[in-house]
Amino acid sequence: MDLNEKVITTHKLTKRFGDFVATNEITFDVYKGEIFGFLGANGAGKTTAMRMLCGLSTPSSGEASIAGYDIYKETEKVKAHIGYMSQKFSLYEDLTVMENIRLFGGIYGMSNAYIKSKSEALIQQLGMEKEVKKLVGSLPLGWKQKLAFSVAVFHEPKIVFLDEPTGGVDPITRRQFWDLIYEAADRGITIFVTTHYMDEAEYCNRISMMVDGYIKALDSPTRLKQQYSAETMDEVFFELARGAQRKGD
């Protein structure tokens, strides 16, 4: 993690839907190569915040810059410099492994030569030589998720947004997935991740905790546990989220 370079900065970032304030004046910075856990109860406003940070939703007020680009005026540049992966939509199931890599590489403007050399290295790293020509839909979930992550960082983005990447994945694959996250962070890619697994919160450099649209706490897991006199991040989460008024999705 490089404390000299901020890749995400927000200042009083807000999104309103009519009278409803989904995300309420959130202010924080994320550093290069940091693993930043973005936690919160259902309905706290995480998805809305993430959509703004990815350049998919225009804020109502406040400021933010992603990889140095303004999220009002430079949304296309924001999109080109980030990667995104979620549990729900990851890859095209009816394309093969290699077709998916070529498709996403192409969308991010990579040259054919780059795609060819990098995809070979990637396939080897994942140990998927035999699966290259298989449809992604036929792969086990754990492999899909590892492939989806690798595709999300294929263009070496500054930041990768991971929305519950390990939901439902078996405990061993879940840990292999985190190995990939650590490697990417060591390469300088910033990881912005949401999860419902509190042990995974411990793997983050810092955690922000959203409740009812606000960031209620933001610190390292160790300091959060001290602050809330808690043994585990689960207790910290429970303490913070218990009083939540909103119980949305």
Q: Which residues here bind another protein, judged by CB under 8 A?
A: 40-43, 140-142, 164, 167-173, 175, 178, 182, 186, 196-203, 221-222, 232-234, 237-238, 241-242, 244, 247-249
Q: Least distance (Å) from another protein to the CB of residue 190? A: 16
* Cβ at position 178, least distance to another protein in Å: 6
Q: How far is the CB of 74 from another protein (least distance, A)?
A: 33
Between 72 and 214, CB nearer to another protein: 214
Q: Is the dihedral of CA 111, 113, 116, 122 positive or negative?
A: negative
Q: Closer to another protein at the Cβ: 74 or 202?
A: 202
Closest by CA to 23, choosing from 31, 13, 32, is: 13
Residue closer to another protein by CB (options 46, 79) is 46
Judged by beta carbon, residue 69 or residue 177, the one nearer another protein is: 177
Closest CB to another protein among residues 64, 211: 211
CB of 98 to another protein, least distance (A): 22
Of the two residues 87 and 150, which places its CB atom closer to another protein in the complex? 87
User: What does the DSSP assignment read for the chain?
Assistant: -EEEEEEEEEEEEEEEETTEEEEEEEEEEEEET-EEEEEE-TTSSHHHHHHHHTTSS--SEEEEEETTEETTT-HHHHHHTEEEEESSS-S-TTSBHHHHHHHHHHHTT--HHHHHHHHHHHHHHHT-GGGTTSBGGGS-HHHHHHHHHHHHTTT--SEEEEESTTTT--HHHHHHHHHHHHHHHHTT-EEEEE-S-HHHHTTSSEEEEEETTEEEEEE-HHHHHHHTT-SSHHHHHHHHHTT-S----
Q: How far is the CB of 163 from another protein (least distance, A)?
A: 11
Question: Least CB distance from residue 185 to another protein, whole Å?
Answer: 9
